């Protein structure tokens, strides 16, 4: 039996730019014949008017929100308002739903939750909303909460459709940097990171998965022809984790894309060869996670095992190749003392990165 196309409305906070997660979910839905739209939430009165207008013109069958911890309270507020205006099923996804499902599903405005990677589950859900045994989906039925198990991770990422950039670009304009991701997962299990939780959730499965270099280039070529971007930002948790893949990718990128790019990495995977490859391919910026310059805190609290010597070597290799360096630092980690900050300051002065990204652990 042919499935009638469904209309799915995404709602997203205005100050968070674009969401690759939502773009992948949207492209998965669209590849199955469904329609998607997006509302960027700003101030409440304007949002309410836009929501009413969307209900009249787009007439969505479902409302979807991808939620992280920082946006959870916001998502609850938005969902309550949406439910008052029209009783449309609301789906929560994202790391907040995945890591705290018992808390999230209790909200009376949440009808469904998609846990973990959602490209396959969301399609099955919108096409079969009465089905009770959809893997990755929690739902409510006759006052009861039905908790389904997770399906296996998508191992061949090349099978996924390219992200639906138009969903965001038509609302916020074309991004200065084209945002791309060439892998899912991370080689590490740092205590402060969502990767730690998800690696344990999917225990026994390969967590770090790389797209084929040719597949990434195909996306970049397609989107360059369409959007005429001038630079690329790779949002992988550790872009340089596979040196063999990087060699192949840089050769293709240099020949077929040839625009400046930035990426995120960890000192463990930055050496002279990698820094030279990055520079040759057009890399202008690398963001490195240090978190704390105090080795025992980094090891015991963060479960990060790169040494200060390794960090110094990575920074030196990047500087040698004139690559802009951004370092991540966390304040208020457990067991840190005043003398740690003074010691750490000396370490950072010695490194002399171009910029610091600082967060405070609460």
Give the 3-state secondary structure of 171-185: HHCCCCCEEECCEEC
The gap between the terminal CA atoms of the chain, to the nearest Å, is: 52
Q: What residues does CATH 3.20.20.70 cover in the chain?
A: 174-360
Burial of 261 (0-12, 13-18, 19+ CB in 10 A): buried
pLDDT in tens, 43-72: 888 899 999 999 999 999 999 999 999 999
| CATH class of the domain defined by 174-360 | alpha beta
pLDDT value, residue 102: 96
320 CB neighbour count, 10 Å cutoff: 12
Averaged pLDDT for residues 323-330: 95
Residue 320: band (very low, low, confident or very high) from pLDDT cuts 50, 70, 90: very high
pLDDT surpasses 70 at 361: no
Question: How large a percentage of the chain has pLDDT more than 70?
Answer: 99
pLDDT value at residue 71: 93
More confident residue, 91 or 356: 91
The residue with greater pLDDT, 37 or 358, is: 37
CA dihedral 61, 65, 66, 67 (to 10 degrees): -150
Asked whether 265 and 225 are in contact (CB, 8 A), the reply is no
Rounded to an integer, what distance in angstroms lies between the CA atom of residue 91 and that of residue 36? 14
Looking at the chain, which residues constitute the CATH 3.40.50.280 domain(s)? Answer: 7-147
d(CA 212, CA 111): 37
Class of domain 7-147: alpha beta
Handedness of CA 85, 169, 182, 16 (dihedral sign): negative
% of the chain with per-residue pLDDT over 90: 88
Q: Are 93 and 65 in contact (CB under 8 A)?
A: yes
Residues in Cβ contact with 102 at an 8 Å cutoff, skipping those fewer than 6 apart: none
């Amino acid at each position: 039996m042919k499935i009638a196309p469904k209309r799915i409305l995404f709602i997203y906070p205005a100050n968070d730019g674009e969401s690759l997660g939502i773009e992948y979910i949207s492209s998965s839905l669209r590849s199955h014949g469904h329609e998607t739209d997006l509302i960027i939430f700003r101030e409440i009165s304007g949002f309410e008017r836009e929501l009413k207008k969307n209900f009249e013109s787009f007439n969505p069958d479902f409302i979807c929100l991808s939620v992280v911890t920082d946006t959870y309270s916001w998502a609850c507020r938005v969902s309550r308002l949406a439910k008052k205006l029209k009783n449309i099923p609301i789906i929560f996804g994202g790391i907040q739903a995945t890591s705290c499902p018992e808390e999230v599903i209790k909200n009376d405005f949440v009808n469904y939750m998609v846990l973990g990677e959602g490209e396959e589950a969301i399609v099955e859900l919108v096409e079969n909303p009465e089905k009770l045994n959809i893997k990755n989906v929690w739902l409510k039925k006759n006052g009861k909460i039905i908790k389904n198990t997770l399906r296996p991770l998508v191992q061949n990422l090349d099978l996924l459709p390219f992200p639906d950039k138009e969903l965001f670009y038509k609302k916020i304009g074309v991004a200065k940097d084209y945002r791309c991701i060439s892998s899912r997962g991370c080689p590490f299990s740092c205590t402060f990171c969502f990767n730690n939780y998800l690696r344990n959730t999917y225990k026994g499965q390969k967590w770090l998965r790389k797209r084929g270099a040719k597949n990434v280039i195909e996306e970049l070529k397609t989107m360059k022809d369409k959007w005429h971007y001038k630079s690329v930002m790779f949002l992988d948790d550790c872009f340089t984790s596979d040196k063999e893949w990087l060699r192949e990718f840089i050769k293709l990128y240099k020949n077929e894309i040839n625009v400046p790019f930035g990426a995120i990495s960890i000192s463990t995977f930055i050496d002279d060869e990698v820094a030279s490859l990055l520079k040759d391919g057009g890399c202008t910026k690398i963001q490195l996670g240090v978190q704390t310059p105090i080795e025992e805190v980094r090891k015991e609290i963060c479960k990060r095992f790169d040494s200060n010597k390794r960090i110094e070597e990575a920074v030196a290799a990047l500087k040698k190749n004139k690559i802009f360096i951004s370092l991540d630092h966390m304040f208020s980690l457990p067991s840190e003392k005043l003398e740690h900050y003074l010691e750490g300051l000396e370490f950072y002065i010695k490194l002399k990165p171009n910029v610091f990204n600082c967060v405070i652990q609460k």
